[in-house]
Amino acid sequence: MMRILIIGGGGREHALAWKIATSRSVERVFVAPGNAGTATEPKVENLSVSPSDIDALIDAVKKNRVDLTIVGPEAPLVAGIVDRFMQAGLPCFGPQQGPAQLEGSKRFTKAFLDRHQIPTARWQSFSDANLARAYARSHPLPMVIKADGLAAGKGVVIAQNYDQAFAAIQEILVDQRFGNAGQTLVIEEFIAGEEVSFICVAAGTAVLPLATSQDHKAREAGDQGPNTGGMGAYSPAPRVDSGLHKQIMQEVIHPTLQGLVEEGMPYLGFLYAGLMIDTHGQPKVLEYNCRFGDPETQPILMRLQSDLVELCLAALEGRLESYAIKWDSRFALGVVMVAEGYPGEYRRGDEIYGLAEVDSDEVKVFHAGTLQEGGRILTDGGRVLCVTALGETLAQAQASAYRAVDRIKWQGAGWRPDIGWRAVDRLKDN
Ligand code: AMP
Ligand code: GLY
């Protein structure tokens, strides 16, 4: 029987812990630090250790006799947690610091994509504000300006006019709003199209794509308003038909993994390609994430019928190619409920009501920013819950998720009313 540690405390980590706890070969799941959702899950226990304190995590693994650690968020991966665990002889599922640069540095990724002829938006990087302004001045609109390093989803500006472009350059390079993450920025061409998430499990050049998914990053209905970590997601994504799937594997995923091996930094772990399918149907890489998506994990894992620990072990032990993943054929859709103010300054500490009645075989409320205090569950983050439902059709999954959302209440709760709209429209027309 295995003991597993999950690092992180968001909706993705609740879904990972929930799924892994169902594995027959798992006796105990620890989550560091977890949230109110993981605290109440059978077989699951929270450890109050910060994901950034690698020494304390190593101690916790030894003390709790953990057999395998799975890293949820990007920051510890980019900081080299897997390398540290390897040095200590502890199995850890995730990429080492070298390949984690795919998420840790936009400039690294853009140069890597160009070196391996992987399609992406045309770009230039700058560390000097005057040079950046001069380049921006002659760049067609809109243009996209990105802080080089990790900025929790806030480091990207789509500038519709030159004033916005100059303001973004000022904020990143001069005011240093993102600290070290903003010593450098990338200015790139805006690509119109439809965004999809393409998530795989990879080990060297071996790769298993997970079920397809799409998320909604904009805060407001109709994909308007500021960018967020993700306001909802669904799986499968009808936009990714078998032709496009094959093209993404051939033009993006295989060359990326091959390129990393050639450059001496083979990838192990979840690999998430954020792609724009442009108006000609060509997939282009917008970004890489070196981890599972949040909230994509929630609907994807609702549909996973295989044992997730077995899948991670197959990757770690070089058996990925002979592994077949089984999926529930139904659709899953998750609606993220957020605190008032998110993605800006938001309220916290509000009591959440109505959680007890909604979980069923088809509906699962994954917690993100929640905290247990006595018998009460309080909001404790911008993204608070991801209410996820299965359905025979995407429209049914959507209706069922929103019925559950309507029963959950707290002061200032917000959500988008239209998660899945594009795919529901597309399926209606077919
Ligand atoms: P990133 O963190 O690089 O994925 O950027 C955050 C979001 O900005 C993406 O999910 C897209 O919605 C949008 N975005 C980024 N780059 C581009 C681009 N070149 N063209 C259009 N939209 C983009
Ligand atoms: N859903 C977007 C992300 O995980 O980065």
**Per-residue model confidence as pLDDT tens digits over 5-49:** 999 999 999 999 999 999 999 999 999 999 999 999 999 999 999
Q: Give one word for 375, left, alpha or beta, with left for phi > 0 and alpha for psi -120 to 50.
A: alpha
Tokens of 424: 């529901």
pLDDT of residue 322: 87
Give mean pLDDT, residues 250-254. Answer: 98
Considering the chain, what percentage of its residues have pLDDT values greater than 70?
Answer: 100
13, 287, 296, best to mutate for ligand 2 pocket (most atoms within 8 Å of CB): 296
Phi and psi at 7, nearest 5°, equal: -100, 125
Does the structure show a pLDDT above 90 at 151? no
119 cis-preceded (ω within 30 degrees of 0): no
Give mean pLDDT, residues 98-110. Answer: 96
Strand order in the sheet with 206-209: 206-209, 193-203, 268-278, 283-289
212, 272, 383, best to mutate for ligand 2 pocket (most atoms within 8 Å of CB): 272
Q: Would you place residue 294 in the very low, low, confident or very high pLDDT band (cuts 50, 70, 90)?
A: very high
Closest residue CA from atom 4 of ligand 2: 293
CB 29 within 8 A of CB 85: no
**Per-residue model confidence as pLDDT tens digits over 40-91:** 999 999 999 999 999 999 999 999 999 999 999 999 999 999 999 999 999 9
Residue with tokens 């690698």: 54
Q: Is 34 in the pocket of ligand 2 (CB under 6 A)?
A: no
CB 268 within 8 A of CB 202: yes
pLDDT of residue 177: 86
**Per-residue model confidence as pLDDT tens digits over 184-233:** 999 999 999 999 999 999 999 999 999 999 999 999 999 999 889 999 99
CB 416 within 8 A of CB 426: no
| DSSP 3-state of 253 | helix
Burial class (CB in 10 A: 0-12, 13-18, 19+), 275: buried
Report the greatest alpha carbon distance in the chain.
61
CA distance 96 to 171: 31
Ligand nearest to the CA of 110: 1
Q: Of all atoms in ligand 1, which is nearest to the CA of residue 195? A: 12
pLDDT of residue 182: 79
**Per-residue model confidence as pLDDT tens digits over 376-416:** 999 999 999 999 999 999 999 999 999 999 999 999 999 99
Per the prediction, the chain carries an average pLDDT of 95
Does the structure show a pLDDT above 70 at 429? no
Tokens of 170: 């000022």
Q: Would you place residue 426 in the very low, low, confident or very high pLDDT band (cuts 50, 70, 90)?
A: confident
User: To the nearest 10°, the Cα dihedral for 58, 62, 67, 72?
Assistant: -30
The DSSP result for 333-367, as a single string, is: EEEEEE-TTTTSS----PBPBS-TTT--SSEEEEE
Phi and psi at 34, nearest 5°, equal: 70, -170
Considering the chain, what percentage of its residues have pLDDT values greater than 90?
Answer: 91
Does the structure show a pLDDT above 90 at 181? no
Does the structure show a pLDDT above 70 at 293? yes
Q: Is 289 in the pocket of ligand 2 (CB under 6 A)?
A: yes
Helix 97-104 to helix 106-115 angle, to the nearest 10 degrees? 100
